[in-house]
Copies of this chain bind each other. A is one copy, B any other.
Amino acid sequence: MFTDEYFMKLALQEAQEAFEKDEIPVGCIVVCKDRIVAKSHNLTETLNDVTAHAEMQAITSAANFLGGKYLIDCTLYVTLEPCVMCAGALNWSQISRVVIGARDEQRGFINKNLALHPKNEIATGILENECSAILKEFFLNKR
């Protein structure tokens, strides 16, 4: 039951919540030993804060829940490839695994040749089409 697809679907539900608030629809879930320890979605417009990406909130929230600042044994599921800021934060968090839905060739960290923490394992392409579709729909509505 607790597959990557299962958790990415929950991250997509978070992205949908962002969409409904007219936020760029990116959602995030942090899982620690099959238990969800944080859920978040992009709130940059609502909070008027460029740092309020889904991942940043999820890292803070998961650390708060777990009572320690390092996210060892945790997996972060995010519907869009993290940007440089969020990749830097994931690096500091020493999170075990990062699972990515849609790629972000332009603003994502992967094409920037940033070395993440050796402890960060990266997986891409989980529910990629669904994760892309919600973003495309959002930006199509904006035109």
Contacts and interface: CB of A to CB of B under 8 A. Distances in A.
A89 B59 contact: no
Nearest to A52: B60
A interface bracket (residues with beta carbon within 8 Å of B):
20 to 34
A80 to B, nearest CB: 14
Contact of A84 (B48, B63, B68, B88): B88
B92 A63 contact: no
B84 A114 contact: yes
A67 interface: yes
Given A69-B44, A112-B114, A114-B112, A63 B49 contact: yes
Contacts of A63: 48-50
A48 B92 CA distance: 12
Contacts of A112: 114
Contact of A60 (B51, B69, B84): B51
Nearest to A55: B51
A44 B63 CA distance: 11
B60 A49 contact: yes
Contacts of A87: 84-85, 88
Given A85-B85, A114-B84, A114-B112, A69 B91 contact: no
Contacts of A60: 49, 51
